[in-house]
Structure 1
Amino acid sequence: WQLFTKPLPQPQSKSQNRQGGEQIVLLGLAAMAGALILAIYASGATALYNYSYKAGLMLLSLITLALLYWSLERLVRSPWGRILKAIREDEQVAKALGKNVFWYKLQALMLGGAIAGIAGAFYAWNLTTVYPSNFEPIITFNSWTIVVLGGAGNNAGTILGAIIFWAYNSITRFVLPTEIIKDASLGAFRIMSIGLILMVLMIWRPQGILGKKEELTLGQ
């Protein structure tokens, strides 16, 4: 109980307030959407000889994603979601209103962790075996890319970002002719290209495709 009621230390700057719990939830949703796209693609690839083994994965993933999206949209519009937005904008104002900032952040962390756990279960189902080497830093980079690409503070944007990212990843991996670029350099080319796209996006549209610009401004 003391852990939940202990006051949060004073932030050093307003820029730290932007690290609200919503980003954790969006990361979990991005991982879930990414796992879904990967599962759909892999199921289609194995359809030629053994689709029945993963026949239920795509359907269950779609149902789970739809339920998660519906639940998160309701949470965003609920008093709980509005408190999280207030914490993101200015923690001191939320504290002045009597809100336990630490407890709300912890709730958002637990929710995001639960969604990420569901995504991990589908990921393991799709691969059938899981090793520590499957979870490299590039996985975190891909999740952040999906969130930034789709739009800040937008659940639909996270799903759209996952679709665009995995479509790009599949096209550059399986469709791009080997005469243009060698297989040995293809991995580095994909990472370099997505990094360049992110740089351009952050300059011309930092809020993402479906994001709102006011979501990036403190105090709005």
Structure 2
Amino acid sequence: MSKPGRKQLMREHHPENIARRLDKSRRPNHLSDAVLGAIDGCVTTFAIVSGAYGAGFSPVVVLVMGVANLLADGVSMAVSNFEAVHAQQRLVDKARRTEELHIELVPDGEREEIRQIFSNKGFSGEILDNIVSTVTANRRLWIETMLQEEYGLGDIPPNPVASAWWTFSAFVCIGMVPLIPFLFRSLSMPRQFVFSTLLAGLMFFLIGLTKGWVFESSLLRAGIRTFALGLFAAAVAFMVGKLLGTFL
């Protein structure tokens, strides 16, 4: 990825551009939710395809098992992510209520906490006094500072519904791709499996490319890494299905 030049960085750090950028309301980033759902959806579905093909099941069985598992696991993933993010939301709300109560009952003690927090950052003397006065003069800033510094909690409120939706959508959309060849009855079972493998590999690679593009890392390395991890999981499922089909 090309790095921004000095002129571009100077434009981005002009006071007006900085103010505009900081003035934007910060929202939760759901990339991790989408990536989680996409990878798990593709791995789960292709694992069903691989295991069923290895066991010698018919295309109809593969399709039925794949769709049923896709929807059931998609809902399960969405619910699990909803609960996880909701628990994080409750943790933030509880910490905020705790700090509001402490500021109400022992304001001097909370001011001392602010003082020690910024003292540990290297501030002292009159500068430290001004920081403490400024932070504690604004109740909202005071609470948000304590949440970040004492509890390590971010100031972006989590959204469990949005997280669940992104996980489910990515899970179903990407997870459906390996099943597409089994919709074409004119193809033989081996060809269906080959096309399914190619599509699954392409999805893994594209997911990796997306991560590499977002995080501005090597696109090829990110794509190959996700591709290898996804196909490894599918290969395990294929071998299990093959062994079970042979012995049972």
Global fold match (TM > 0.5): no
Q: Flag the structure with more relative contact order, 1 or 2, with Cα contacts below 8 A and sequence separation at least 6.
A: 2
> Normalized against structure 1, the TM-score is what?
0.32
Quick check: which has more Rg, 1 or 2?
A: 2
